[in-house]
């Protein structure tokens, strides 16, 4: 009798034990559960150089006694220096989704300087060498005009703000393509001070002040191909290509001042313009997840290039010596650290 009763109760006890075990397993959190990071904050250090084609300020010095046209000499421009800047980025990129959203701000100030001193006697303007002062703005300027010393100081301040949304296409285990669309705002401020002494300025110097500022906003389209070098996708090389059409206003100011008065009132204009910007970037990325993939650090480095089309809009000085495009170029190295949480 007892044996039959025990055999009857065993299946019930076993069912109850399994039910209890399942219930406690569902209620107790797993010690191995984790969530991937969705938020990203990154800071980039930039080491860039700028270049602009129409900032030449003097011609190559030539003999004063043998030269009847100083404008024929080779044009001399300033030396563009390397400078540091930064870029800050804040992104939301859910790991279980195929889209992301980010905002970034890029800021850098670049400079260029140049100095020309004509060899020979700088006391007697009729003895020695001289050069044509390219940014001599007087309406009666002539090809026989020359100066003995010249100096240019140029400064560019660049601020670019991007806000974009992207979607990922994982076409192969080793390749991902991300397309981004959004908006860009750009604020470019250029200032130059050019001075000449000697020659046709025997009693002092002429100073020419140039301002070329652009403020614009417009749509941005971007492609980001990435090639994974490891199976866990923690090491990769990546590229970026982007184009933006900025609609905005360019403010131009140009005036020349001698030691006694304004020699030429110059230009003061405000123009509405549409300007293209093209970006290109190539780099390598190393991602280090930690704490059960709750967090990650990503380090990046590489080279980038930016072409701001038609930026320098100041008219060529009186004798129209400055030729070539009006583009502003920014290019150089970057290094980035990103924290994901």
pLDDT in tens, 41-96: 999 999 999 999 889 999 999 998 888 899 998 999 999 999 999 999 999 998 88
When pLDDT is cut at 50, 70 and 90, the band that residue 12 belongs to is: very low
Q: Where is 176: in which H helix or E strand?
A: strand 175-198
For residue 122, give the CATH number of its domain.
2.40.128
Split into its structural domains, the chain has a count of 1
Domain that holds residue 185: 42-340
What's the confidence (pLDDT) of residue 21? Answer: 43
Query: Is residue 36 one of the residues assigned to a domain?
Result: no
The CA-atom distances, in angstroms, between 260 and each of 138, 203, 256 are 14, 10, 11
Are 311 and 274 spatial neighbours (Cβ–Cβ below 8 Å)?
A: no
* Per-residue buried b or exposed e for 69-90, using 16+ beta carbons within 10 Å of the residue's own CB: ebbebebbbbebeebebebebe
Q: How far is residue 207's CA from residue 201's CA, in Å, rounded to a whole number?
A: 11
The CA-atom distances, in angstroms, between 289 and each of 234, 254, 285, 297, 330 are 8, 54, 13, 6, 33
Q: What angle do CA 213, 217, 219 make, to 5 degrees?
A: 145
Query: Is residue 19 one of the residues assigned to a domain?
Result: no
Are 50 and 77 spatial neighbours (Cβ–Cβ below 8 Å)?
A: no
Query: Is residue 176 one of the residues assigned to a domain?
Result: yes
Q: Which residue has the higher pLDDT, 28 or 85?
A: 85
Structure tokens at 219: 């749509």
What's the confidence (pLDDT) of residue 269? Answer: 82
Q: What angle do CA 285, 288, 293 make, to 5 degrees?
A: 130
Percentage of residues of the chain with pLDDT beyond 70 = 85
What's the confidence (pLDDT) of residue 36? Answer: 74
Which of 172-186, 216-230, 253-267 has the weakest average pLDDT? 253-267
Measuring CA to CA, which residue among 67, 76, 261 is closest to residue 146?
Answer: 67
Q: How many CA atoms lie within 13 A of 100 on its CB side?
A: 19
Q: Where is 298: in which H helix or E strand?
A: strand 295-308
Query: Is residue 277 one of the residues assigned to a domain?
Result: yes
Query: Is residue 2 one of the residues assigned to a domain?
Result: no
Measuring CA to CA, which residue among 228, 256, 226 is closest to residue 238?
Answer: 226
Ranked by mean pLDDT, the top range of 58-72, 119-133, 238-252, 265-279 is: 238-252
Has residue 111 got a pLDDT over 80?
yes
Percentage of residues of the chain with pLDDT beyond 90 = 66
What would you report as the CA-atom Rg of the chain, rounded to the nearest whole angstrom?
A: 32
What's the confidence (pLDDT) of residue 95? Answer: 80
Q: Which residues contact 34 (CB under 8 A, 6 or more apart)?
A: 292, 293, 294
What's the confidence (pLDDT) of residue 19? Answer: 44
What does DSSP say about strands 62-63 and 129-130: parallel, antiparallel, or unpaired? antiparallel
Query: Is residue 136 one of the residues assigned to a domain?
Result: yes
DSSP state of 322: -
Query: Is residue 17 one of the residues assigned to a domain?
Result: no
What's the confidence (pLDDT) of residue 204? Answer: 80
Mean pLDDT over the full length of the chain: 86
Are 152 and 116 spatial neighbours (Cβ–Cβ below 8 Å)?
A: no
Has residue 162 got a pLDDT over 90?
yes
List pLDDT tens digits, range 257-311.
775 555 566 667 888 989 999 999 999 999 999 998 889 999 999 999 999 999 9
What average pLDDT does this structure show over 153-172? Answer: 96
Are 296 and 34 spatial neighbours (Cβ–Cβ below 8 Å)?
A: no
Query: Is residue 223 one of the residues assigned to a domain?
Result: yes
């Amino acid at each position: 009798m007892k044996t039959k009763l025990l055999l009857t109760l065993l299946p019930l006890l076993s069912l109850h034990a399994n039910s209890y075990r399942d219930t406690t397993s569902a209620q107790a959190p797993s010690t191995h559960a984790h969530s991937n990071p969705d938020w990203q904050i990154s800071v980039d250090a930039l080491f860039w150089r700028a270049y602009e084609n129409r900032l030449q300020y003097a011609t190559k010095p030539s003999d004063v006694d043998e030269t009847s046209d100083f404008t024929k000499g080779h044009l001399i421009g300033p030396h563009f220096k390397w400078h540091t800047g930064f870029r800050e980025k804040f992104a939301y990129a859910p790991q279980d989704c195929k889209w992301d959203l980010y905002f970034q701000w890029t800021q850098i100030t670049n400079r260029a300087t140049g100095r020309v001193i004509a060899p020979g006697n700088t006391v007697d303007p009729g003895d020695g060498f001289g050069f044509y002062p390219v940014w001599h703005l007087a309406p009666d300027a002539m090809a026989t005009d020359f100066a003995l010393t010249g100096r240019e100081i140029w400064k560019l301040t660049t601020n670019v703000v991007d806000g974009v949304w992207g979607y990922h296409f994982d076409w192969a285990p080793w390749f991902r393509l991300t397309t981004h669309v959004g908006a860009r705002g750009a604020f470019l401020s250029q200032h130059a001070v050019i001075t000449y002494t000697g020659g046709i300025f025997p009693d002092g110097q002429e100073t020419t002040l140039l301002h070329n500022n652009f403020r614009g906003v417009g749509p941005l389209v971007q492609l980001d191909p990435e090639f994974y070098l490891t199976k866990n996708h923690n090491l990769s090389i990546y590229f970026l290509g982007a184009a933006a059409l900025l609609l905005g206003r360019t403010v131009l100011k140009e005036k020349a001042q001698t030691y006694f008065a304004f020699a030429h009132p110059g230009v003061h204009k405000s123009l509405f313009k549409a300007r293209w910007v093209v970006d290109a970037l190539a780099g390598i990325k190393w991602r280090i997840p930690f704490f059960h993939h709750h967090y990650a650090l990503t380090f990046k480095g590489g080279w980038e290039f930016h072409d701001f089309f038609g930026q320098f809009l100041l008219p060529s000085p009186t004798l129209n010596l400055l030729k070539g495009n009006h583009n502003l170029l920014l290019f150089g190295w970057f290094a980035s650290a990103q924290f994901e949480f």
